[in-house]
Amino acid sequence: MRSWLSVNSFTALVALCSFQVKADDGASPTARLDSGPIVGTTTALPSATAVVNKFLGVPFAVSPPERFSPPQRARRHGVLNTTAWKSACIQQFNYPEASRNFTISTFNTPAPEESEDCLYLNVYAPAAPARGAGRAVMVWIYGGSLRFGTAGQRTYDGSYFAAYEDVIVVTVNYRTNVFGFPASPELPLIARNLGFLDQRLGLDWVQRNARAFGGDPSRVTIFGESAGAFSIDALLTSFPKGSKPPFQAAILQSGQYSYRTTPTVSSSPAWNNLTAALNCTGPSALACARAAPASVIKNIIERGALQFDPVPDNLTLVSRPAQRRISGNIADVPVLSGTTSQEGRVFVVGQTNITNYVRTTFRSAPVALQDAILAAYPVGGEYPTGYDAIAQIFTEFVFQCPQALFANATAAIGIPSWRYYFNATFPNLQRFPNAGVYHASEIAMVFRTYNMSTATAEQDALGKFMQGVWAQFAKNPHGGPGWNAVGTGDEFIGGAADLDLGVIGGQGWAGVKVIRESEVDGRCALFRPIYEATTGLTIGA
């Protein structure tokens, strides 16, 4: 198996970088990697006793990579200055203009530079020497629908984790859209999910170099949101039971892969549309597309809203993840997963006609099921407007109910599984009017990168609490986040349930309240036939 497809410990190399090089007072911090030495910078946060070393823009692969090709390990180098974030990989923000601008303002502001020279990562580590075998390491995989995103974003700054929780945070860039998931028939199947291969090479880099920053490579927790959580579930389901994945635990925020709401769609038409627009036809279409300017490709895929999704290759992405999960043939590591209470509000802005929405979204479902969904989300009752009702349908159908299935199926096979439900909103996190507890609104709370100058005491208390929960789970995954683990699969179908859902935040309080899953999942059974159709499994009883 080629090196870019495997995760190896490389004992000899680990030995070379099994020490942390500290800076003298007033000097810049340095670290010696298996590829060579790097120089970073330091930061001191308010009221923190720990100084943080930051190494930004560290190459973990040859960059720029050959377009539409798997990543290769970074080459050896002399002293590198790693004091600034590198460019984002080429991003895709689809037209029409209004939709494009809304996505950019909500998820990509301030906008970073973009380049194919983007395979870099960032490390945030306490400056003080680590005790024992080393600190826990948390590796962040960002979201963005596998179309956009970057590790070099202020929201993902791991300094607060390092300063206040004594853990190391690594954020990794990976390719998205057609640059990360090309569907060329000229590429072998195992060389099409390039974004996932980038992530894996980043994890391999962490295994080989964690000790250079005082980290313990046996104590790596992967965490991510949305497409990042999808990526994590792809990792969980692709490492079979009994294997040794390059992580000891996982945190999935608002996303998973096992339970889909729609069938997988081929990206071949998108590739064909792209090559046709580039005038790249015939047997050399791939070579032609490789030679085209990146800006031209970006413009074509954005204006055509071309969708490039990962393809099941049974290496980075299995074809039947739910089946793998319920069979227990997945990575046996503790999992914390959850959602926000109003995920859908950011996705359905401007939609107010609930009847049209339901008839369109569920057009393949029987009319009786469509009517039942309409009756379950009454406008003017629990939901003041059509927008409110539509947003809640989206929240539960796309995110919350699949996450419930994920958490309970994981518990049912004997893997420790905890579930949270984020339910707090604050003025300085509102990216658009009436945003509520929208998709991704918890991220700034986890990293504590919200605007401290405008934060309320309640917000800051909740931010400290959430960051502490995430860090404690990374340090001791089997100990859990501080509330009961999920019991069995019965909760999803409305059966008796334990108090095992941690509601994080609420009106006027900061912390966690533990409730029964059935208190928020009561309508999930409505969608069971759809999940059964997409997974090919019988769900519940």
Q: What is the pLDDT of residue 185?
A: 96
Q: What is the pLDDT of residue 17?
A: 41
Res 300 pLDDT > 60 = yes
> pLDDT (tens digit, 9 = 90+) per residue, 67-76?
999 999 999 9
Q: What is the pLDDT of residue 423?
A: 98
Please give the structure tokens belonging to residue 356. 């049209």
Taking CA atoms, 491 is separated from 277, 387, 392, 405, 517, in Å, by: 50, 28, 20, 9, 6
Prior bond of 293 cis (ω within 30°): no
Res 490 pLDDT > 80 = no
In the chain, how long is the greatest CA-to-CA distance? 71
The Cα–Cα gap between 402 and 8 comes to 33
Percentage with pLDDT > 70 across the chain? 93
Res 11 pLDDT > 90 = no
Choosing from 63, 226, 337, 341, the catalytic residue is 226
Tokens 């995989």: give the residue.
Answer: 141
The Cα–Cα gap between 203 and 222 comes to 9
Q: 17-26, 363-372, 502-511: which range is least confident on average? A: 17-26
* Strand pairing class (135-141; 215-225): parallel
**226 is known as an active-site residue:** yes
Q: What is the pLDDT of residue 24?
A: 44
Q: What is the pLDDT of residue 230?
A: 99
Average pLDDT over residues 153-163: 98
CB 167 within 8 Å of CB 474: yes
Percentage with pLDDT > 90 across the chain? 89
> pLDDT (tens digit, 9 = 90+) per residue, 232-259?
999 999 999 999 999 999 999 999 999 9
Res 459 pLDDT > 80 = yes
pLDDT confidence band for 497 (50 / 70 / 90): low
> pLDDT (tens digit, 9 = 90+) per residue, 268-291?
999 999 999 999 988 899 999 999
- The dihedrals phi and psi of 124, each to the nearest 5 degrees, come to -120, 115
Q: 56-70, 233-247, 343-357, 478-492: which range is least confident on average? A: 478-492
Q: What is the pLDDT of residue 19?
A: 43
DSSP state, residue 458: H
- Name the residue with higher pLDDT: 246 or 506: 246
* Three-class HEC string of 239-255: CCCCCCCCCCEEEEECC
> Residues 6 or more apart from 438 whose CB is under 8 A from it?
340, 342, 343, 345, 346, 431
Res 495 pLDDT > 60 = no
- The dihedrals phi and psi of 182, each to the nearest 5 degrees, come to -70, 145
Tokens 């095992």: give the residue.
Answer: 500
Q: What is the pLDDT of residue 79?
A: 98
Res 503 pLDDT > 60 = yes
- The dihedrals phi and psi of 221, each to the nearest 5 degrees, come to -115, 130
Res 129 pLDDT > 80 = yes
Q: What is the pLDDT of residue 23?
A: 53
Q: What is the pLDDT of residue 226?
A: 99
Task: Classify 120 as helix, strand or coil.
Answer: strand
Q: What is the pLDDT of residue 263?
A: 82
Q: What is the pLDDT of residue 12?
A: 36
pLDDT confidence band for 85 (50 / 70 / 90): very high
Q: What is the pLDDT of residue 16?
A: 35
Write the DSSP assignment of 333-379 as a string of letters: --EEEEEETTGGGGTSTT---HHHHHHHHTTTS-HHHHHHHHHHS-B
Average pLDDT over residues 220-231: 99
Q: What is the pTM of this model?
A: 0.94
Mean of the per-residue pLDDT values of the chain: 93
Q: What is the pLDDT of residue 9?
A: 37
Q: 103-117, 166-180, 483-497: which range is least confident on average? A: 483-497
Where in the chain are the domains? 3-333
- Name the residue with higher pLDDT: 305 or 7: 305
Q: What is the pLDDT of residue 199?
A: 99
Res 6 pLDDT > 50 = no
Res 306 pLDDT > 60 = yes
Q: What is the pLDDT of residue 374?
A: 98
Q: What is the pLDDT of residue 264?
A: 82
The fold of 3-333 is: Rossmann fold (3.40.50)
> pLDDT (tens digit, 9 = 90+) per residue, 351-390?
999 999 999 999 999 999 999 999 999 999 889 999 999 9
CB 256 within 8 Å of CB 225: no
